[in-house]
A and B are shown apart, each in its own frame.
Chain A
Amino acid sequence: MVKNITTSKIKHNEIVKAESKNLNFFYADGTQALKNVNLPVYENKITALIGPSGCGKSTFLRSFNRMHDLYPGNRYEGQIILHPDNTNILLPGVDPIEVRMRISMVFQKPNPFPKSVYENVAYGLRVRGESNKRTLDEKVEEALKGASLWSEVKDRLQDLAFNLSGGQQQRLCIARALATEPEIMLFDEPTSALDPIATMNIEELMSELKQKLSILIVTHNMQQAARISDYTAYMYLGELVEYDATNQIFTNPSKKETEDYITGKFG
């Protein structure tokens, strides 16, 4: 990887893990949800996307694992370059399944499968053809520990995942996304359905996870973005209004719109 650093842009001595270049996105009905978005995602950093409902932040996030490909008629323009191999993951020739194997996702509502705790975490590995019981056991344990859930579920791995609490279910979904050792993890408002304590657990977890991977998170909660992220992007009406280090954005935004949104005058 060190060799490839030269091909990645370096800013603040940090490595760009992925970046969108002139990204436009059109839904099947023709509405343009993203307009010329240019945004880097730095390695081992948390990048937060904020903005009012309908500003395109979720649409942007879901472009990173080609989730829009599941529904016919959606169209991307521009590039999302994944480093260090410089793959444009939006190219039609790039299999979305390959992209999803490198970039995993945690959704807004905890969405475990109606299977056991163990099978939920093991599923990503099974999809990759892993069937060795010992390897699976090890990786499931590792992922559950990584999602700080192991101590709570180690005696009930065969229980149905639905029997866990909401916060535990969301951490289970993080474990599921973690088990496959992704390069980037996408979070789509991961705590909006959770109580404050579960939210705090997940925020702590994300700060730990960034040691291992890069995180892109959409959040409605500005305090959350301020607490956990290293970089923040403010989006409005499908456009990227401002992007900077989180400190900068929250203390000294360069654009009036950003300031209005952050101070609650708008949005």
Chain B
Amino acid sequence: MATQRKSTGVKNLDSIRKIIARHKRHDFLFASLGTLVIASLTITLLILFLDLVIDGYPQFTLDFFTNFPSRHAARAGILSAWVGSSLVLIVTFLVAVPLGVAAGIYLEEYAKKNWFSDLIEINVSNLAGVPSIIYGLLALGLFVYSFGLGQSILTAGLTLALLMLPIVIVSTREAIRAIPVHIREAAYAVGATKWQVCHNHVIQYSYGGILTGVIIGMARAIGETAPVITIGALTFIAFLPPSPIGLEPPFINFEWLKAGFTVLPIQMFNWISRPQHAFHINAAATGAVIIMLTLVMNGFAIKLRYNIRKKIKW
């Protein structure tokens, strides 16, 4: 009797182990598929990047960053392009971040939940997926012609801000939603008003997530070409906009907002469309610079998110 019992027990154990082994095969299958996909994506990006670096290698000199574009490929640089990109991004940042964060907080904390807020929500998500050329055409009609802002840094900054706005709004809302209900209730329970809850808690705890969204949005804006071409950015520019900071009072001027400009991806586009091979080297070098900038920004965003998550655990 006892031996029989023991043997059935062992039999059961065998069948349990078989089931586990079969199920584990599914784990293995999925994990290897995932690894394969990730690896092929990473390798593709790496090859593209290395290709650009190898092609553009002769141009990686300090001169390349301090020279204006030139008819002589070897002397041409990206000074006006990176200065232009930086100034445009400053405008984009100053417009998109306050607007986007405020909109996100409003939608999440203040707006009543009804069909209208649902409609806004769907539209904001949709805006993130609208092709950038559409934003360019909108900006051309609105900023350049209707508002008369011209083909300026201000116009480009506002256009890219439109593009970045949905990303900032969505990431702000996600970050706010991650704050647990019981923390929010704790703040209300001591008698805080909505604004006090937003100001003392919601914004402070969602700061990391919001910043991550902002950086990812900026990284997207830096590489955008189509909308900037549409509003008429210059492709060959051998001067810098007036400096935003002066040595004489009032030290800050806004002339640069009205200046013509170019940006990195347009400079690259311009060079790649030339027949001479020498310019293609410049284009490759510029491409490598853009990818580097994007990688650095995204890496910074990830690091930031990691640090803040480590500090605030719910």
Contacts and interface: CB of A to CB of B under 8 A. Distances in A.
Interface of A: 65, 67, 70, 72, 97-98, 100-101, 104-105, 107, 109, 111-114, 123-124, 126-128, 162, 173, 176-177, 180
Contacts of B311: 114
A127 B312 contact: no
Nearest to A101: B191
Contacts of A124: 190-191
A72 B117 CA distance: 14
B196 interface: yes
12 contacts: A67-B188, A70-B185, A72-B113, A100-B188, A100-B190, A100-B191, A111-B185, A113-B201, A114-B205, A124-B190, A127-B192, A180-B191
**Residue of B189, B196, B201, B312 most packed against chain A (CB within 10 A):** B189
A104 to B, nearest CB: 7
A67 B191 contact: no
B205 A67 contact: no
Interface string B108-125: 000011000000000000
B187 interface: yes
Contacts of A114: 183, 205, 311-312
Nearest to A114: B312
B186 A67 contact: no
B6 interface: no
Contacts of B313: 162
B205 A105 contact: no
A104 B187 contact: no
A173 B186 contact: yes
B189 A65 contact: yes
A252 B117 CA distance: 55
A207 B220 CA distance: 60
Interface in B182-241: 182-193, 196, 200-201, 205
Q: 8 closest A-B pairs (Cβ-Cβ)?
A: A124-B190, A101-B191, A100-B191, A111-B182, A105-B189, A111-B186, A114-B312, A127-B192
Contact of A180 (B182, B188, B190, B196): B190
Contacts of A128: 191
- B-side interface size class: 20 to 34
Contact of A107 (B186, B191, B192, B200): B186
Contacts of A67: 185, 188-189
B191 A97 contact: yes
Contacts of B191: 97-98, 100-101, 124, 127-128, 180
A177 B188 CA distance: 11
**Residue of B182, B191, B313 most packed against chain A (CB within 10 A):** B191
Contacts of B312: 114
Contact of B190 (A109, A127, A162): A127
B138 to A, nearest CB: 35
Contact of B187 (A109, A123, A177, A180): A123
A65 B191 CA distance: 9
Contacts of B182: 107, 109, 111
Nearest to B112: A72
A113 B187 contact: yes
Contact of A123 (B112, B113, B180, B200): B200
A104 B185 contact: no
A256 to B, nearest CB: 37
A227 to B, nearest CB: 25
Contacts of A65: 189
B200 A104 contact: no
Interface string B169-187: 0000000000010111111
B196 A104 contact: no
**Residue of B193, B200, B205, B311 most packed against chain A (CB within 10 A):** B200
B189 A97 contact: no
